[in-house]
Amino acid sequence: MTPHLLLFYLFATVAVAAAVMVVSARNPVHSVLFLILTFFNAAALFILIGAEFLAMVLVVVYVGAVAVLFMFVVMMLNVNFVRMRQGFLQYLPVGGLIGVILLVELILVAGTWVVADTPEAIEPRPTTAGLTNTEALGNVFYTEYFYLFQAAGVILLVAIIGAIALTLRDRGNIRRQDIGEQVHRDRASAVQLRKVKSRAGI
């Protein structure tokens, strides 16, 4: 077994195990941490196939933004997960339908799987015309898939705005800063003078 193949099995095994823990962990913060571990191992797999740009994007965008944002939302929203689990059976049909759709997609992907005859057939190949991996991806993103690339950016923007809007919702048990009220205060309402006797305290 070559070192390249050994690293592939190592990273793939850890990625699959971490992905299983994402959906099976009871604590949502633990799920986010396992999600970050999955992203790192997926980035390592991209590096093994020569797609270093995708690996760096996966680490910078997903680990540095999406996963941290998800953890921020989970910790700030103070969601009552016990109450959410009480309605599990109510959403079971919808979840089952989504699971069936994903299973069909996986079967279709597995049906087109082709086993390479030689190890050289799966080695990373250089891009045409002497372009680097980053330049080739840029040409594809901004020509053939330009509108899809922009649509993905809009979806991420809407997700960020929605997360911020949910975090800033009005909750009665939290005191918020009112800048307008602070600016319009006068000295009479903001300062109170007291004459304290020596060694008496307040």
Is 162 among the domain residues?
no
Is 161 among the domain residues?
no
Is 106 among the domain residues?
yes
**What is the C-alpha separation between 167 and 75, in angstroms, rounded?**
10
Instruction: Give residue 185's pLDDT.
Output: 82
107: domain range?
87-114
State pLDDT tens for residues 10-61.
Answer: 889 999 999 999 888 877 778 888 888 898 889 888 888 877 888 888 888 8
Q: Model pTM?
A: 0.54
Is 32 among the domain residues?
no
State pLDDT tens for residues 177-196.
Answer: 778 888 888 877 778 887 87
Task: Give the count of domains, the chain.
Answer: 1
Is 127 among the domain residues?
no
**What is the C-alpha separation between 96 and 6, in angstroms, rounded?**
36
Q: What is the mean predicted confidence (pLDDT) over 137-160?
A: 86
Is 159 among the domain residues?
no
Is 95 among the domain residues?
yes
